[in-house]
Amino acid sequence: MRAQQEPVEETTEEIEAEVAPEVVGFEMIDVLALPQPVKDATMTEFNAVASEAWVKLENDKKIYKLNIASDGEVKTVYATADGEWLKEDEVIDGN
């Protein structure tokens, strides 16, 4: 007795992968590698810790970009190595 073979129908399905947004000019770092003044400023200002962190060198100074969870939403903030906050428009775009 032979098993009946049914034709196999090929399907292709596009799967949308969730990828971290590209951060131009910034290099991702471990949040544990953040300078202590940045960690302290984040805790003082937002009562939170960074969930993700990036760094870039701008005019011979390190600029840190942080994602923090505050008030139930994720915010992106920028700081100098000394823990001074920068506005997004103060950070030169890497393009």
pLDDT at 50: 96
Helix (H, G, I), strand (E, B) or coil at 28: strand
57 within domain boundaries: yes
pLDDT at 70: 82
**Domain count of the fold of the chain:** 1
In a 13 Å sphere around the CA of 5, the CA atoms on its Cβ side amount to: 4
Distance CA 13, CA 1 (A): 36
2 within domain boundaries: no
Render each residue's pLDDT in the chain as its tens digit; 95 residues: 566 666 666 666 655 544 445 457 999 999 999 999 999 999 999 999 999 999 999 889 999 999 999 888 999 999 999 999 999 988 865 43
- The pTM score is 0.71
1 within domain boundaries: no
**Residue 38 sits in which domain range?**
27-88
Q: What is the CATH number of the domain that holds 83?
A: 3.10.450
